[in-house]
Amino acid sequence: MAAGISRWKMPDAAVSGGRIGPNALSQLLPLLEQAGGTELRQAMLLEAGIVTLPDMSGLIDEAPVARLHQVMRAEIPDLAPSLAWKAGKRTADYILANRIPRGAQALLKALPALFAVPILTRAIARNAWTFAGSGVFEVVSYRPLVLAIHDNPVVRGEFADHVLCDWHSAVFERLYRVLVDDGLRAREVTCCAMGAAACRFEVAPG
């Protein structure tokens, strides 16, 4: 299929506030505590400017969430990739447990990948603001499957010589592995932090 086949952005009412799903924050906090105790968790929160945790029952302000991810990458660079990956996997597990009906999951697992991939991808696109925030989510192509986030708020303003979006990669990989094919892997191939136009993720057999 042609590049740029689908582009999805948050509804205008939500864009102004820059909102993102609470799992971008809630799934990371216990991992920070496991890695360095309450002291590390609190230090990271304070440096990110989060004095009081937001209500996690709905979309939350993306700016402090992005700062926390960025502080983690700056302060504990050796641990940050694995912590972000684990948080992304936990986010996908939350989605599987609470957001995708069991019947739909069973159907996707029963379908050949040729049909399951576009169905799942369209579902992800419809809910893209939960992980893309005020960025623009795009399905670049289905064969091969390439997903993109333009102006990704989680790395907005960062500069790096390598890709940074382990949290997003893990969310995508876990969903496609569980619902389509356990042999699929998600790999970020370009990143906004490296000066690319978008953070692009390839989902393909590993």
DSSP letters for 156-202: TT---SS---HHHHHHHHHHHHHHT-TTEEEEEEE-GGGT-SEEEEE
d(CA 124, CA 165): 17
- Cα–Cα distances in Å, from 188 out to 72, 82, 102, 148, 192? 19, 15, 29, 9, 11
Question: Which pLDDT score, from 0 to 100, does residue 129 have?
Answer: 87
Q: Report pLDDT for 160.
A: 96
- pLDDT per position in the chain (206 positions), as tens? 333 333 434 333 333 359 999 999 999 999 999 999 999 999 999 999 999 999 999 999 999 999 999 999 999 999 999 999 999 999 999 999 999 999 999 999 999 999 999 999 999 999 998 999 999 999 999 999 999 999 999 999 999 999 999 999 999 999 999 999 999 999 999 999 999 999 999 999 98
The CB density around residue 174, as the number of other CB atoms within 10 Å, is 21
Residue 77: both structure tokens together: 């660079």
CA end-to-end span of the chain: 22
pLDDT at 17: 57
Place of tokens 């576009």: 118
Under a CB-based contact definition with an 8 Å cutoff, are residues 47 and 71 in contact?
A: yes
Per the DSSP assignment, residues forming a β-bridge with 139 are: 6, 147
